[in-house]
Chains A and B, each alone.
Chain A
Amino acid sequence: MYAVSTGAGAEGTEVEGWEIGQTLGGFARACRAAGLPVTADRERTFLAACAAVGLDSREHVYWAGRGTLTASPADVEPFDRVFTGWFGGRPMHAVSGQEPPRTSTLQAALDEPDPSGGRGEPSDQMVAAVASTEEVLRHRDVATLSPAERAAVRRQFATLRPRPPVRRARRHTPSHRGAVDGRATVRTHLRNLGEPSRIRFRRRATRARRVVLLVDVSGSMSAYADSLLRLAHRMVQAAPRTTEVFTVGTRLTHVTRALRERDADRALLAAGDAVPDWSGGTRLGQSVGAFVGRWGRRGMARGAVIVVFSDGWERERPELLGEQMRRLGALAHRVVWVNPHRGKEGYAPVQAGIVACLPYVDDFVAGHSLATFQEVLDTVAEARERHGILRHA
């Protein structure tokens, strides 16, 4: 019998001594301050775990803490930091699946308004006069807005209406037509003591399809990153269980948890804290590869609608980006590429990165203004069946 009680154990066991309890409790709260998901009951479990495992070994306290206060591999590193800071001594295990950030080369930003762009306004004053109408703002390139206009546009993000795409579920739902539902029919018969009666039908139910957003936050996209993350925030809020957001740049960062915060500004601040490579260089191919390897292939990308927000500026190895997009496309239900420059006049997808990707992209759409963002949302919502390879000139 394995369940013989070993003396210590049950929840609520007090750690002996007020001071020890204070020290451990303080450690748990320090972990919370470092951003770990430490709630009051987790703290209590941690104390109970310490009481059970004993305080005589540093290792034991460490593992008791890691088992009770962390909830994902990303939590391990901050936990280690707090542990070393709180209890002193050498760092325990350098368990980190992430590669260290490499120095990145900054690229030329593209936030200069295109002089040939059709909507470039001649003077600031005129811009201010026009900007009063919301409708005009909807069509303005978010990269060229003044601070006041930007604030107005931010408020308008609330008017975007994301709808999750749907897929057929494994489950069935009762229906008036469709296939005969044998079990339900038998159940009805059973209710009538075995007398045959009405035949029941069923059809496949629908469920929300997973949407994965890969948002490029490198230097060349910095003018759009804020707006794109706001868009991502709206999408996460609309379908919190089936939307996942990553930022790509020199590294891949999972920011879904930050964007679950309801308030958009707070969510963006939290996401900003989580992203180490804000406005850095671009290693798009490697970041997409990291996504496919670490998350996508294990199931997150399977059957999902993948939305990549990027200008496709890959300097180093465009062929790697193409290969990774091929792998991604093979897993995904549909790949949507959103390029803020596509909406501008005179744009042609000629950069090596974009050229390498296009064969594996199903929809190549613009995304530089509120109006185009709504179009992006519609494209995602209507990603019903696969068209195959993009017929793009």
Chain B
Amino acid sequence: MPAADVLADPGSLRAGLAGTGYLADDGLSTVAWLAHSLQRPLLLEGEPGTGKTALAEALAELLEVPLVRLQCYEGIEASQALYDWDFPRQILHLRAVETAAAAVPGAFPAVTGQDLEADLFDERFLLARPVLRALREAPCVLLVDEVDRADDEFEAFLLEVLSTWTVTIPELGTVRAQTPPYVVLTSNRTRELHDALKRRCLYHWIQHPGLERELAIVRTRLPQVDEALAGQLVALVQQLRTDEDLVKPPGVAETLDWARALHALGASRLDPETAARTLGAAVKYREDAERVRMALERTLTR
């Protein structure tokens, strides 16, 4: 399907995403479509494991463009997001020129300082990092993952790039995106992002999906898993999320892992024993495991 058709309206974007195995609800597909149509970055927040990162991957697959990913972390700097010069190679190059010039006098008639410098700050010594790569390779999907982990200064820098779509490299000139990349930012809300950045973006809070949609997700992603098993498992996970006061409620990603684990063991229906054995796929805290085991006893042995 050509990309222009997929992006005709929110409904077709939703259908297109479903084609890649990502089931978006009305809200998400509308906001994702608006992000494209208004050429704004899309800021996604939500519980871990609700498919924030997966959306960017699905979009890239659907639009048949590359996905450029920038994983943020504490202390990330512009040089890790934009570009850097390959210093060791530059030195090596200098030395090579020097040695060659000394060995064969006259072979390099007039190596002036300026020439050499222009040579050094050449494209081949430039290490393009994700943001610069995204601007060059656009159209593409740029995923800025877990932006809340980066520092404020980095946020300000991102804001600048996201509003102008240009990056200036003093030695080379200005790089401007032909078409702005589709930008998806994700945040786990470990801290409140700066208002200026939020203002620039469209905002969407992703919730855990309801029973039907989660079941549909499992069926789409893992068609090999037995239907009855999938139904039982999703019902159980939904119940764990709402009723049990878990330290870390399982996300959709965990449901999928659990279903995969059960399938690998050849289970065709969920019984307390197999469920307890494969629990590690979905529940990652000791306290939670205790609670879930008790819940399993209650719900599955009836």
Contacts and interface: CB of A to CB of B under 8 A. Distances in A.
B203 A71 contact: yes
A40 B138 CA distance: 30
A63 B195 contact: no
Nearest to B64: A2
A49 B191 contact: no
A49 B87 contact: no
B266 interface: no
Interface stretch (B34-42, B127-135, B251-259): B34-42
Given A298-B48, A298-B189, A300-B191, A45 B198 contact: no
A298 B30 contact: no
Interface in B46-102: 48, 63-65, 74-75, 77, 87-88, 90-91, 94-95, 98
Contacts of A66: 27, 31, 203-204
Contacts of B40: 45
A111 B50 CA distance: 46
B190 A299 contact: yes
Interface string B195-234: 1001100111101000000000000000000000000000
Interface string A15-56: 000000000000000000000010101100100110011100
Given A53-B30, A66-B31, A76-B205, A45 B38 contact: yes
Nearest to B191: A300
Given A66-B31, A95-B207, A171 B75 contact: yes
A194 interface: yes
Contacts of A9: 37-39
Nearest to B188: A298
Interface stretch (A102-110, A126-134, A184-192, A332-340): A184-192
B300 interface: no
Contacts of B192: 72, 244, 256-257
B265 interface: no
B59 to A, nearest CB: 8
A169 B151 CA distance: 11
Contacts of B90: 190
Contacts of B10: 53, 60, 63
Given A39-B199, A68-B202, A186-B87, A2 B7 contact: yes
Nearest to A323: B287
A295 B47 CA distance: 10
B169 interface: no
Contact of B199 (A42, A171, A297, A302): A42
A171 B77 contact: yes
Contacts of A299: 148-149, 188, 190-191
Chain A interface bracket (under 10, 10 to 19, 20 to 34, 35 or more): 35 or more
Interface in A177-213: 183, 186-187, 189-190, 193-194, 207, 210
A2 B95 contact: no
Interface in B5-50: 6-10, 26-27, 30-31, 33-40, 45, 48
A93 B27 CA distance: 10
A266 to B, nearest CB: 18
A183 B36 contact: no
A1 B139 contact: yes
B190 A295 contact: yes
B248 interface: yes
Nearest to B77: A171
A4 B6 CA distance: 11
A244 B192 CA distance: 9
Nearest to B178: A3
A64 B31 CA distance: 7
A59 B30 contact: yes
Contacts of A52: 34, 37-38
A73 B205 contact: yes
B126 to A, nearest CB: 15
Interface in A292-312: 293, 295, 297-300, 302
A70 interface: yes
Given A53-B10, A63-B30, A297 B75 contact: no
A210 B113 CA distance: 49
A8 interface: yes
A123 interface: no
Contact of B31 (A42, A67, A170): A67
A293 B247 contact: yes
B77 A71 contact: no
A257 B193 CA distance: 11
B247 A297 contact: yes
A295 B189 contact: yes
Interface of A: 1-4, 6, 8-11, 37, 39, 41-42, 45, 48-49, 52-54, 59-60, 63-64, 66-68, 70-73, 76, 93, 95, 97, 169-171, 183, 186-187, 189-190, 193-194, 207, 210, 241, 244, 256-257, 289, 293, 295, 297-300, 302, 327
Interface of B: 3-4, 6-10, 26-27, 30-31, 33-40, 45, 48, 63-65, 74-75, 77, 87-88, 90-91, 94-95, 98, 113, 116, 120, 138-139, 148-149, 151-152, 179-180, 182, 188-192, 195, 198-199, 202-205, 207, 245, 247-248
Given A54-B9, A73-B205, A194-B95, 14 more contacts: A1-B3, A45-B40, A53-B10, A63-B30, A64-B34, A67-B34, A67-B35, A68-B203, A187-B87, A295-B189, A295-B190, A297-B247, A299-B191, A300-B191
13 contacts: A53-B37, A63-B10, A66-B204, A67-B34, A71-B198, A71-B199, A73-B205, A186-B91, A190-B91, A244-B192, A298-B189, A299-B148, A299-B149
Complex A-B, nearest 5 residue pairs according to Cβ-Cβ distance, in ascending order:
A299-B190, A170-B75, A63-B30, A3-B179, A2-B63
